[in-house]
């Protein structure tokens, strides 16, 4: 396989499981050295398993703990990575979580927790990445001096009852991404989002764990299959590579058609 990201340093946040782990694996296959970020001490074993897997497949990776919602930890992560590898070329702003509740029962803590990781976390990491891209400038490794991929969701456009905090965070990611893409496109920085649909990961386990749940879920997916993490990882490689050099400030929906109003398939 051609290594389109050879020699590039990529931080993937929330990469100890799920979509983040899938992105880490695919970026490493494409030749990037990957920093597999995980948020809490208990996540180290899972992050190290992703790292070992990458190394066994001939790639390069290390794990690094950092809660992306905490500014001092984000600053420390970038300082450590830049100290060890010289720079950062790619950021996959992936870390995200759900704390679902009916709206009238949603606590401020649940609201702040989700917004803190999903939106503030993406802001803090993107800000540090952009600062580093500008400091370091052109290296000739890529047509852009840096690339950021924000992990959004189909819920940046699909309202989601019972998930107001999550949907608000992803709507926020959409306009933050577009705004900073506009601000830094003249500096040769590309910033885009991926909006996954239902990808089989721990975050939505309840939606596909039984045949009955799976059949319900498939009604929302015209392509009639649940996505896999490498569907997203491959999209991340494309957005990080020069193959997508003219793509900037856009959201790539990787959702098996979930945003195509599936209720109208045989109706309306």
Q: How far is the CB of 95 from ligand BGC (least distance, A)?
A: 12
Q: Which position among 33, 153, 192, 241 is part of the footprint of ligand BGC (CB under 6 A)?
A: 153
Q: How far is the CB of 42 from ligand BGC (least distance, A)?
A: 21
Instruction: Give the torsion through C-alpha atoms of 75, 117, 49, 22, to 10 deg.
Output: -110
Is 261 considered catalytic here? no
Q: How far apart are the first and last CA of the chain?
A: 46
Closest CA to 12 of 4, 20, 3, 22: 20
We find the least distance from the C-beta atom of residue 20 to ligand BGC, in angstroms, to be 12
- We find the least distance from the C-beta atom of residue 28 to ligand BGC, in angstroms, to be 24
Burial class for 263, CB neighbours closer than 10 Å (0-12, 13-18, 19+): exposed
Number of helices (H), then strands (E), in the chain: 9, 7
Q: Can you say how many angstroms the Cα of residue 18 is from the centroid of all Cα atoms in its chain?
A: 10
| Annotated active-site residue in 38, 166, 246, 261 | 166
Closest to ligand BGC by CB, 62 vs 154, is 154
**Alpha carbon distance 251, 248 (integer Å):** 9
Q: Which of 35, 62, 154, 164 binds ligand BGC (CB under 6 A)?
A: 154
Residues 2-41 that bind ligand BGC (CB under 6 A): none
Closest of 199, 192, 200, 19 to residue 96, by C-alpha: 19
Residues numbered 62-121 forming contacts with ligand BGC, rule: CB under 6 A: 98
Among 4, 147, 155, 190, binds ligand BGC (CB under 6 A): 155
79-87, 152-160, 186-194, 245-253 -> range binding ligand BGC (CB under 6 A): 152-160
Which residue of this chain has its Cβ atom nearest to ligand BGC in the complex? 153
Report the C-alpha gap between 179 and 7 in whole angstroms: 29
Contact 29, 50 (CB under 8 A): no
- Binding span for ligand BGC by CB under 6 A among 23-31, 53-61, 150-158, 174-182: 150-158
* 97 vs 134, beta carbon nearer ligand BGC: 97
- Contact pattern from residue 181 through residue 220 relative to ligand BGC, giving x for each residue in contact according to CB under 6 A and a dash for the rest: ----------------xx----xx--x-------------
- Using CB under 6 A, count the residues that bind ligand BGC: 9
- When the beta carbons of 147 and 155 are compared against ligand BGC, the nearer one is 155
Helix extents (H) in the chain? 18-29, 44-56, 71-85, 108-115, 121-136, 164-184, 205-208, 211-218, 229-240
Residues found near ligand BGC in the complex (CB under 6 A): 98, 153-155, 197-198, 203-204, 207
Catalytic residues: 166
């Amino acid at each position: 396989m051609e290594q389109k990201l050879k020699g590039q340093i990529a931080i993937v946040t929330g990469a100890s499981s799920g979509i983040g782990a899938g992105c880490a694996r695919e970026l490493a296959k494409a030749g990037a050295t990957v920093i597999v970020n995980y948020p809490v001490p208990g996540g180290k074993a899972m992050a190290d398993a992703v790292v070992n897997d990458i190394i066994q497949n001939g790639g390069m990776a290390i794990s690094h703990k950092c809660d992306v919602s905490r500014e001092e930890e984000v600053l420390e992560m970038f300082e450590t990575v830049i100290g060890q590898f010289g720079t950062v070329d790619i950021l996959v702003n992936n870390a995200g979580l759900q704390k679902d509740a009916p709206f009238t029962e949603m606590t401020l803590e649940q609201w702040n927790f989700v917004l803190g990781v999903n939106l503030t976390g993406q802001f803090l990491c993107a800000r540090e990445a952009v600062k580093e891209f500008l400091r370091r400038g052109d290296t000739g490794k890529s047509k852009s001096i840096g690339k950021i991929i924000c992990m959004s969701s189909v819920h940046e456009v699909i309202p989601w009852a019972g998930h107001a905090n999550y949907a608000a965070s992803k709507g926020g990611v959409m306009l933050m991404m577009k705004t900073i893409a506009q601000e830094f496109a003249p500096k040769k920085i590309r910033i885009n989002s991926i909006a996954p649909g239902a990808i089989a990961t721990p975050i939505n386990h309840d939606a596909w764990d039984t045949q009955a749940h799976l059949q319900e879920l498939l009604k929302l997916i015209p392509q009639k299959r649940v996505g896999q993490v490498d569907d997203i990882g491959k999209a991340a490689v494309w957005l990080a590579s020069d193959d997508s050099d003219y793509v900037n400030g856009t959201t790539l929906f990787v959702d098996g058609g979930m945003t195509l109003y599936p209720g109208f398939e045989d109706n309306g």
